[in-house]
Amino acid sequence: MSLPKTGMCLVCGTETRNRCSSCSKAGLDLFFCSPEHQKFVWPVHRYFCGPGKANSWIWPALSPNEVEAALEILHTSLGPYTDGRWNTKTLAEGLKAMSGGIEQPDAILKGYVEPVNEPDAIDSAIAYMTRHFHHALLHSFEPPSTKPSPDMSPLLTITDIANPLEISVDAGGWRTPFLHQVSVIAAGLHSRAPPPDYNDKLRQHVLPSLVKLLQATLLPEDSEKARDTLLRLIQFAEERLNLTL
């Protein structure tokens, strides 16, 4: 496969020849104009970098610590709320529904702990759902914040972004480049020292790039889904980033 000579930096849009070498091996070109910009995104990108992770986007398997934490909240209710995606109040209900009601939730969690040699779509979905419920239980009663809590991992941060955009579990096709671009937003929310003029970079490059990607890939395929995702992106930008598209 011939690779393009140049591309736009994922963070700022500067034309560059520098790309992530590991992701290139996965057949995906992600460009960074400088080591500083690549280092800035790395806390998030490292989970989705290289063959088997980057293309298609795969949510990492749960770590032993994540499984232990999830088992403690397995039957904890979201209270008056239900999860918007699966319409369930507990992680146990969500996991059982995902398995068609066959497997016990604790067995599902213990069965998908890392290391998973080649995580598949089911592994990815279970990991995503578990992290989403973990985040929801920690933060569902709080107003939206422009910064994550100090104890939120980069994975929880990008999970928190992916869910309202509804681009989370099935992350193939157009969702893969979309989520890699979203990782810049997650890195900024998670970072204590984002690059100078970071909000300008979001406004001038990152968010417009997401819109262009939707227009080029999803709009011809599913115009209703494209419009819905665009509206969600606009709402997210306004509520979480204080930016107007």
Q: How far is CA 115 from CA 19, 24, 36, 132, in A?
A: 28, 24, 30, 20
The β-bridge partners of 62 are 113
Q: Where are the beta strands (DSSP E) in the chain?
A: 7-8, 15-16
pLDDT confidence of residue 12: 93
Q: Which two tokens stand for residue 26?
A: 């996965």
Select, from the ranges 81-95, 139-153, 173-187, the one with the highest average predicted confidence (pLDDT): 173-187
Contact 44, 110 (CB under 8 A): no
Q: Which of 11-20, 68-77, 200-209 has the lowest mean pLDDT?
A: 68-77
Which residues, 6 or more positions from 217, have their beta carbon under 8 angstroms from its beta carbon?
173, 174, 177
Determine the pLDDT at residue 159: 83
Higher pLDDT: 85 or 64? It is 64
How confident is the model at residue 149, as a pLDDT? 46
CA 137 to chain centre: 18
Domain assignments of the chain as residue spans, ordered by start: 59-143
Q: Which two tokens stand for residue 110?
A: 């213990």
Backbone phi, psi, residue 15, to 5°: -70, 135
Compute and round to an integer the Cα radius of gyration of the chain: 18
Q: Is the pLDDT confidence value at 9 over 90?
A: yes
- Which residue stretches of 46-191 are H helix? 64-72, 91-98, 105-111, 121-139, 154-165, 175-190
The verdict on pTM exceeding 0.85 is no
Nearest to 98 by CA among 83, 116, 77: 83
Mean pLDDT of the chain: 82
- Say what the alpha-carbon torsion angle 1, 9, 21, 55 is, to the nearest 10 degrees: -60
